[in-house]
Amino acid sequence: MTSLCKINAHLFARYEAIINLDITSRGEDVMADHPRLSLKNLAWMCRTGREQASSMTEDKASRWLGFVQGCLAMRQLIDVDVEREITRPLFHALYLSRTGAIPDTLVRKLIAPDGRYLDLLAC
Q: Average pLDDT of 16-29?
A: 88
By C-alpha distance, which of 97, 94, 121 is closest to 108? 121
Alpha-carbon gap, residue 7 to 18, rounded angstroms: 17
Percentage of residues in the chain having pLDDT higher than 90 = 69
Q: What is the CA radius of gyration of the chain?
A: 17
pLDDT single digits (tens) 37-85: 999 999 999 999 999 989 999 999 999 999 999 999 999 999 999 999 9
Average pLDDT of span 3-7 = 93
> Above 60 in pLDDT, residue 122?
no
Q: 78 near 16, Cβ under 8 Å?
A: no
Over residues 33-43, the pLDDT tens digits come to 999 999 999 99
Q: Rounded to the nearest 10 degrees, what angle do helices 39-51 and 3-26 cross at?
A: 150
pTM reported for the whole predicted model: 0.83
The whole-angstrom separation of Cα 112 and Cα 47 is 40
Non-local CB neighbours of 83 within 8 Å, separated by 6+ positions:
69, 73
- Percent helix, strand, coil in the chain, to 5, is 60, 10, 30
